[in-house]
Every structure is written in structure tokens, then in C-alpha cells.
């Protein structure tokens, strides 16, 4: 697989399918976690054994950028709008999508620099993964 620029990864949230692009986003990150189920017993001679299926799966999307859009802040202060469909689309067609909860939002305004934001969204319910072309 060839590499690609991070700015070519598109994050969309809420609105119509596949969502609306949030202006000002510079960095996008994704973290996938699966809670291991430990089934170790005496028969395993001291070696840990875990099930191949996770007890709980979670996908976290982190965002940061220059504040140019008010929708994340507005969603944070409107409790009923914190869960929205989110789409992370890569240049090769790979897409990660599902409903995500806006867990945190930070807006920072340095004295003599651009106002920036950070946000973290956590999955609620199943997340769909579509493989891209190599």
C-alpha cells in the first residue's frame, strides 16, 4: 500500500450520510481497543490465556485543528446532540463509520496565535470498517 497525506483523510460528523466535514481539522487519529477476557486456569501452567473475542470493543477518534467551525462546541453544550454518525474516509477508499459520542471538547485561544480545538469521540454501538484498495 502506498502512503498518503494526513490532510487527505476526511472526517465527517452528523448531518447527511456520509456527514458534514468539520472545518479546520488538521489532525485525525483513531484508536481501536478490545477488552480481553482472561480464561486462564491451572491447566495453563502459568501462561495467560484469553478468548479470541473481546468482552467490549471501542473505537476512539481524536481530532485537533484551527477553530473555524462551531458545530462541535454547539453539540457539546446541547446534550441531545452529542451522539452523531461519524465517518473517517481515507484516500484509498477505506472508511470507518458508526455513531460516536462527543466525549470531550477543548477550545484554546492563545494571546497572539490562532484559536485551536481538540475533540475526542467514542463509539456507541457497532462500528463499520470498509477496506480500501491497496
Closest CA to 70 of 24, 16, 7: 24
Q: Is the pLDDT of residue 130 over 60?
A: yes
Q: What is the pLDDT of residues 52-81, one digit of tens each?
A: 999 999 999 999 999 998 889 988 998 788
Report how many domains make up the chain: 1
pLDDT at 3: 78
Residue 31 lies in a domain: yes
Residue 48 lies in a domain: yes
CATH of the domain at 66: 4.10.410
Residue 26 lies in a domain: yes
pLDDT at 63: 96
Asked whether 93 and 4 are in contact (CB, 8 A), the reply is no
Averaged pLDDT, 97-113: 93
Residue 80 lies in a domain: yes
Range of the domain at 11: 6-130
pLDDT at 1: 56
Residue 78 lies in a domain: yes
Among 9-18, 71-80, 111-120, the minimum mean pLDDT is found in 9-18
Percent of the chain with pLDDT over 70: 97
Euclidean distance between CA atoms 91 and 79, whole angstroms: 33
Residue 1 lies in a domain: no
Residue 20 lies in a domain: yes
Q: What is the pLDDT of residues 81-100, one digit of tens each?
A: 899 999 999 999 999 999 99
Amino acid at each position: 500500500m502506498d502512503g498518503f497525506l494526513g490532510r487527505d483523510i476526511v472526517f465527517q460528523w452528523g448531518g447527511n450520510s456520509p456527514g458534514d466535514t468539520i472545518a479546520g481539522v488538521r489532525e485525525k487519529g483513531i484508536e481501536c481497543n478490545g477488552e480481553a477476557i482472561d480464561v486462564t486456569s491451572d491447566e495453563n501452567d502459568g501462561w495467560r490465556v484469553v478468548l479470541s473475542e473481546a468482552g467490549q470493543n471501542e473505537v476512539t477518534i481524536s481530532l485537533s485543528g484551527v477553530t473555524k467551525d462551531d458545530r462541535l462546541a454547539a453539540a457539546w453544550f446541547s446534550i441531545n446532540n452529542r451522539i452523531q454518525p461519524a465517518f473517517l474516509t481515507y484516500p484509498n477508499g477505506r472508511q470507518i463509520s458508526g455513531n460516536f459520542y462527543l466525549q470531550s471538547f477543548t477550545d484554546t485561544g492563545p494571546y497572539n496565535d490562532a484559536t485551536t480545538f481538540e475533540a475526542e469521540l467514542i463509539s456507541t454501538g457497532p462500528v463499520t470498517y470498509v477496506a480500501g484498495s491497496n
